[in-house]
Amino acid sequence: MTLSLARPAGYTLVRAGRASFLVHRRATAVALALTLLLAAACLTYLCAAQSYVAPSEALKVVLGQPSPDELTVGTFRLPRMTVGLLVGAAFGVAGALIQTVSRNPLASPDIIGVTQGASALTVGALTFGVTSYAYLPYLSVAGGLLAAALVYVFAWRGGLHATRFVLIGIGFAVALRSVTNLFMTKGDYLVAQQAKVWMTGSLADRGWDEAVPVTWALLLLTPFVCWAARAQRTVSMDDDTATALGIRLGRVRLGLALLGVVLASIATGAAGPVDFVALLAPQLARRMTRTAQIPLLSSALTGAVIVVVADLLGRKLFEPTQLPVGVLTAAVGAPYLIWLIIRGRTGGKA
Amino acid sequence: MTETDIETGTGTGRRPARLSARDLTLAYEDRTVVDGLDVDIPDGAVTVIVGPNACGKSTLLRALGRLLKPARGSVLLDGTELARIPTRAIARSLGLLPQSPVAPEAITVADLVSRGRQPHQRWWQQWSDADEHAVTEAMTRTDTAALAERSVDELSGGQRQRVWIAMALAQETDLLLLDEPTTYLDISHQVEVLDLCRRLNHERGRTVVAVLHDLNQAARYADHLIAMKSGRIVAQGAPSDIVTADLVRDVFGLESVVVPDPVTGSPLVVAGRPWGAGD
């Protein structure tokens, strides 16, 4: 019994030869439950997004078997749902990473200007003649990185203070939104209208052309996310203690933040700034797993569930009017943000 | 005391010390704190660095533990400059407890102590038998095993400090640097922590380097005492050899009488001067 005392409580040891892994039991259970919930949400989405399709037919389409509902489910709903799911997961992980690095639950990419930077550059390009959608993902990643770099430079005063970082980020977010608006008023009316819908965060008309590149981008980033899940543990320590343990905290932080910014930007490029998902998902996930760190897998799953369910509700609630998914997530996220600010723990740890 | 002094010696005429500094200059921005200092940390002994506030003692310790990059000169670990050794490799030979470490929120004692195993772990080796053994032993030695499941936030100052020391112990390094490990502790917890350092040295042969505020505690627990003033080493050696009223006046600017400690026989500094003496 004395031996097992040493192992951190709540973890199960899994061994294979010389390899050994500590698995957090509650986090695993939560991730499993979230996976089931996500599967249920996806199936509901495929069956009920507009006209009703029987679950058996929907499943047939997913499995690639012939079905009369091939067009409805396979061509329209499935790619849109896939984009929603991936965007939600990417925002969830991005939020978790940036909140972890800044040790602040407020510091998510949609609050501190990252998604606004991605939007500004994308909308700018759209309204000023870039017609090929193929460039948009790159533009939004560039915009997100640029905005993050600007916030970083302005917030740096011989050190990075969490509250100052968040406040400057919020300032940049507002400024970049104005820039985006400026682009829209200057640009062609029709394109501006299109950009406006994109700006609220929308999954409307997303097909396989959008779904495939997002899938690839996120698949490529998966190994980095796996690294992040382990590296994240060390960021919650203070600099001196981490250095004493042989961790290069500066590099780890930079790596985690970069990954978060890139993920948020890719997601923004695919669906526009779906507000508050990156803010909300990690904190919800952490409350469920009760882990010391924000759990990445559960954040991804929570983000995915939020976006898929929000898009479904947006399509169903006020039929035939369809609300963009960003309106729904904002309706839930904004009160949470206000609550966070009222609680006044902006300088606290994530 | 004397027994260990003979056993360990204090570095002269033996193989070079594992940890040493050569021509070490340390500065914060423009302000030079330590200028051209040479020091050898005797192996297998308890070294205590003392001196008045802002004399550079903590700065020196931070440089010995690679938390601060030298402006000039170098810190050598086993003859190699610290800057040339991967930080993870350093962490397997040299442990360090900073002055006010911050625990991740809501972390349990066992979890925090097991973080000390970080330099020995890989992503695919998250918990070996060696990890289990080291963490168990660290908690047993520091008497924190009973607290294993408790949250670090809810512990008393003394308990928390023992947990941090346990983390540094779990790292299983031959060298252990402690930056004012007794600050914020009441007297009984101070003694508890210092006794622990002593036992580590005696029973495990670990080299311990600590910065302490209290000169009498330093004199009682050190095999090798380093007295610093304005970034220089004023005196070093066994406390019984170097702690005198002259040294205390020189280093701290304080008149005192030095008598044998009634408990250990080590020098005991009593502030002030006898009535009627002097003026």
Assign residue A320 the CATH number of its domain: 1.10.3470.10
Is there a domain that residue B278 lies in? no
Nearest to A8 among B111, B168, B171 (CB): B111
Is there a domain that residue A326 lies in? yes
For A184-227, the pLDDT digits (tens) are: 887 777 777 777 777 777 888 888 888 888 899 999 999 999 99
Binary contact (B104, A8; C-beta < 8 A): no
Q: CA B198, CA A248: separation in Å to the nearest integer?
A: 31
Is there a domain that residue A9 lies in? no
Chain B within 8 Å of A157 (Cβ-Cβ)? no
Type and span of the H or E element at B207: strand B207-211
Type and span of the H or E element at B197: helix B187-204
Q: Residue A284 has which token pair?
A: 């919800």
- CATH number of the domain within which B18 lies: 3.40.50.300
Indicate the number of domains in chain B.
1
Q: What is the DSSP letter of B86?
A: -
- Nearest by Cα to B217 from B178, B255, B159, B165: B178
Binary contact (B139, A6; C-beta < 8 A): yes
Q: CA A329, CA A310: separation in Å to the nearest integer?
A: 6
- Nearest by Cα to B81 from B171, B20, B38, B32: B20
Binary contact (A21, B127; C-beta < 8 A): yes
ipTM of the modeled complex: 0.86
Chain B within 8 Å of A23 (Cβ-Cβ)? no
Q: Do A79 and A204 meet the contact criterion of CB atoms below 8 Å apart?
A: no
Q: CA B191, CA B176: separation in Å to the nearest integer?
A: 18
Q: What is the DSSP letter of B25?
A: E
Chain A within 8 Å of B82 (Cβ-Cβ)? no
Residue of A nearest to B95 (CA): A244
Nearest to B101 among A3, A227, A238 (CB): A238
Which chain B residues contact residue A19 at CB under 8 A?
Answer: 124-125
The residue to which tokens 């169903």 are assigned: A316
Q: How many CB atoms lie within 10 A of CB A40?
A: 13
Binary contact (A248, B87; C-beta < 8 A): yes
Is there a domain that residue A4 lies in? no
- Give the orientation angle of helix A296-316 with respect to helix A277-289, to 10 degrees: 120
Binary contact (B118, A234; C-beta < 8 A): yes
Q: CA A261, CA A102: separation in Å to the nearest integer?
A: 13
Is there a domain that residue A55 lies in? no
Which chain A residues contact residue B108 at CB under 8 A?
Answer: 8-9
> pLDDT of chain B along its 279 residues, tens only?
444 444 444 444 456 789 999 999 999 888 899 999 999 999 999 999 999 998 999 999 999 999 999 999 999 999 999 999 999 999 999 999 998 898 887 788 999 999 999 999 988 888 999 999 999 999 998 889 999 989 999 998 888 999 999 999 999 999 999 999 988 788 888 898 899 889 889 888 899 999 998 999 999 999 999 999 999 999 999 999 999 999 999 999 999 999 999 999 999 999 987 776 555
**What's the N-to-C CA distance of chain B in angstroms?**
37
Chain B within 8 Å of A6 (Cβ-Cβ)? yes
Is there a domain that residue B22 lies in? yes
- Nearest by Cα to A97 from A150, A38, A144: A144
Residue range of the domain that includes B89: 2-271
Binary contact (A246, B88; C-beta < 8 A): yes
Is there a domain that residue B132 lies in? yes
Which chain A residues contact residue B144 at CB under 8 A?
Answer: none
Q: Please give the pLDDT value at position B4.
A: 41
Indicate the number of domains in chain A.
1
Residue range of the domain that includes A287: 78-343
Q: Residue A347 has which token pair?
A: 């300088």
How does residue A4 score in pLDDT terms, banded at 50, 70 and 90? low
- Nearest by Cα to B219 from B270, B164, B168, B273: B270
Q: Do B269 and B275 meet the contact criterion of CB atoms below 8 Å apart?
A: no
- Our CA-based measurement puts residue A345 at a distance from the nearest CA of chain B, in whole angstroms, of 14
Q: CA A96, CA A301: separation in Å to the nearest integer?
A: 12
